[in-house]
Structure 1
């Protein structure tokens, strides 16, 4: 029997710790159980954005909305920056309190009020789980030459298994994928960029009534919404970090990882969109990529989808608990996996493109005002004022009014088109921005008294946020 050196011992201990099944739920993480550094946020969010849904969101820019590649790239850069900033900021919410962002939502929205976005996050997670399971199943199906059913089972079981083990294992998997995925995607990137029409111009016929401004704004909105949808999860993956984790470093790592992964793969999707309109990963094989490269790409897409969707399964389970459902975390993981699998199974039998586009836009509409309330609460409301209202707090009214203000601007063809979006299609991408600004301004006004009281000396001491 050989003795392990110090480095091997530390590595072995780290792997054992990461693969131990997590027993915590939504309660605050004790200080002596905190570990890890901000760098793990880079690998987690980079890996999570190197996936097929990033590719398809970029492809919409050129293949569906008619932007030239350079125009699409600029829109993708801007939209990704907005979403990455949201993830970066919300990642910093985890270490100070040791709880996820949805638990902290109870402060401004109240305990009953916070249950509503928790339920929405739960269903959002199930929907993303379904979308990614479909995409992953298409990739696995093409890779191993089996039917949709077996491929779908492989993908969903793998996603649920990672989420069942929990926080440490998710970070370990994402660190490994941050090394593996770039190697797998480099071939399709070289081929896609060199074979596509990077000099393509704006196609007015594809843009239709949107025009150039509307198409550009819509791509920014879709790209921002895709990354923004992760912001409700971000603190779930930093709540085990020490209380003194530097927030600026944490923001920088999370922002950079999200932005780089998103811009790289979405711009690749926009490039491929100048060649062909890809409906599923299978179409990449038949219409774009040659044999050996297609095989490697299918492997990359299948793996990346699994590593991304495990976040939906894990955080969706926590949201279900925050909504007030009494069960163990592992049971909630099975609920998300089961419901998401059922939705994905039925949706996977048809074309998902228009649903995918509408789904991304709708996410931004309700998450944006919620995020605005949380930012005002974090940076403007005094930190000692931490008694969560039993029912509904002022933040609930701010969130709801912000959402209502956006209704006239909402544009989901086939679902709902607001009067302003109908008469001015180019403004249909502004709904999330309107909701964000309205909710933020209203919550500033409603919490003005709290900020005034903070200027007066008080003997009150901070209270914990109880799950």
Structure 2
């Protein structure tokens, strides 16, 4: 089997075992918590189950993390007042959530994950976005594990490194168990975490005044940057989207899938970022300490820290799961459970690095840099999908060959998108000339998306893909 051909979807697993590391055991029904060995091979139609409603909980619970709360404090730190910062958060979140919701509808139709599906457009060139996606999953492990590990360490009286280590072991185990274990956990944690964060909001001061420190063009730049950071959070799920809908039946309503995903992503992110901007004076770099201070050191404080740790566990399990599919997509023949555990292992030293110095600066730098490649990726795969739908082309990953397709046009558009984004970037490590001229406004995501459309759409819409 070529590394770049779609693995077949066997009707059953033979007595001698699966055909390759890409195939393997699949969950058979809701609640089947045995280890999912299934890798990037599409899920056959007869093995699908579940309904679109589970997409709300799987996209709601993982966003109720202190990462989102900490991100919400950024608008205040940039000099915005609460209403203006909230408007920026809502705008950015909705813009980022729409592509994630749209891409998520592909899972039920094809039975394939998002990076494996990207090979339809990228061909052999999928190596580039696949590697970036895998590295991004490791980075997200660190971004979220930073706060979860801190909370666990405070709860148990451990040193920081031990809290992070236990956190990584837990999330890696969930990533190993796979699709159904993650869905079931997110359903339970939707209610648990919603209650915990509501209690946290209740304990915040009744009146918090954050007067605008930025004015004029500086205020406009801060608004755009705050909006872009919110957008980056919601859009970061786009390369994962169909990974968590690939077991849904093929006839599942795509509009319902879209709206459940959109609501799950947007409502959760707006809620936690609103909490962050409201309590910006409390939630500093050490957000776990802020939670402990708000809720007190008794049972309520302990439950709050436990909720923070569980929230990180929920989110990072999804990072490890999708990271395992990305690692197989680039051609590495490693079992999916092993690949999921590997992402958690590599996230551990990155957490320690972020914790060792200026957490705010390193957090923002990692958050933005892990997402700048995503708009170009979304534009390319969306155009390819649109072209197929317009031409009435069948989309069957189990039969379509990508071995003879270099994917050069998609790769050119992808690279051009990133290059176009560079002048618009604004991070602590680099500020592009356009961003500087616009008083810090980061428009890199928009520049990347539009560039990829302009470069790739004319080619793809006038030609059929090689098969």
Structure-1-length-normalised TM-score? 0.87
CA contact (8 A) 1:210 1:426 kept: no
Q: Give the CA deviation at 1:136.
A: 0.7
> Are 2:410 and 1:400 aligned?
no
Q: Give the CA deviation at 1:383.
A: 5.0
Q: Give the CA deviation at 1:387.
A: 4.9
Q: Give the CA deviation at 1:149.
A: 2.8
Q: Which residue of 2 aligns with 1:72?
A: 85
CA contact (8 A) 2:31 2:184 kept: no
Q: Give the CA deviation at 1:282.
A: 3.6
Q: Which residue of 2 aligns with 1:134?
A: 146
Q: Give the CA deviation at 1:390.
A: 3.0
Which of 206, 212, 231 aligns to 1:195? It is 206
Show structure 1 runs of 4+ deviating over 6 A. Answer: none
> Are 2:59 and 1:45 aligned?
yes
Task: String of CA shifts for 1:144-192, please: whole Å, max 9, x gaps.
Answer: 2222132122211110111111101000000000111111121111122
Q: Which residue of 2 aligns with 1:457?
A: none
Q: Which residue of 2 aligns with 1:86?
A: 99
CA contact (8 A) 1:284 1:294 kept: no
Task: String of CA shifts for 1:17-74, please: whole Å, max 9, x gaps.
Answer: 1x11112100011111111111111001100111111101101111x11111111111
Q: Which residue of 2 aligns with 1:369?
A: 376
* C-alpha distance in structure 1 between counterparts of 2:461 and 2:257, whole Å: 29
Q: Give the CA deviation at 1:79.
A: 1.1
* C-alpha distance in structure 1 between counterparts of 2:93 and 2:377, whole Å: 19
Q: Which residue of 2 aligns with 1:255?
A: 262
Q: Give the CA deviation at 1:305.
A: 0.7
* C-alpha distance in structure 1 between counterparts of 2:283 and 2:338, whole Å: 40
SS of equivalent residue, structure 1 residue 86: helix
Q: Which runs of 5+ in 1 are unaligned?
A: 1-12, 455-459
* C-alpha distance in structure 1 between counterparts of 2:384 and 2:183, whole Å: 28
Which of 344, 368, 391 aligns to 1:337? It is 344
Q: Give the CA deviation at 1:287.
A: 5.3
Q: How many residues align?
A: 431
Q: Which runs of 5+ in 2 are unaligned?
A: 1-27, 395-399
Task: String of CA shifts for 1:379-411, please: whole Å, max 9, x gaps.
Answer: 234352765353233211111112111121122
Larger CA deviation: 344-353 vs 64-73: 344-353
Task: String of CA shifts for 1:265-298, please: whole Å, max 9, x gaps.
Answer: 110000001x345112343056544344433321
* C-alpha distance in structure 2 between counterparts of 1:200 and 1:133, whole Å: 29
Larger CA deviation: 312-321 vs 294-303: 294-303
The residue correspondences of 1:20-169 to structure 2 (distance < 5 A) are 20-62=34-76, 64-111=77-124, 113-169=125-181
The residue correspondences of 1:218-233 to structure 2 (distance < 5 A) are 218-233=225-240
* C-alpha distance in structure 2 between counterparts of 1:100 and 1:23, whole Å: 14
Q: Which residue of 1 aligns with 2:326?
A: 319
Q: Give the CA deviation at 1:131.
A: 2.0
Considering fraction of residues, name the structure with more helix.
1
RMSD in angstroms over aligned alpha carbons? 2.1
SS of equivalent residue, structure 2 residue 358: coil
* C-alpha distance in structure 1 between counterparts of 2:319 and 2:236, whole Å: 10
Task: String of CA shifts for 1:307-339, please: whole Å, max 9, x gaps.
Answer: 111011111111011011111111111221111
CA contact (8 A) 1:21 1:165 kept: yes
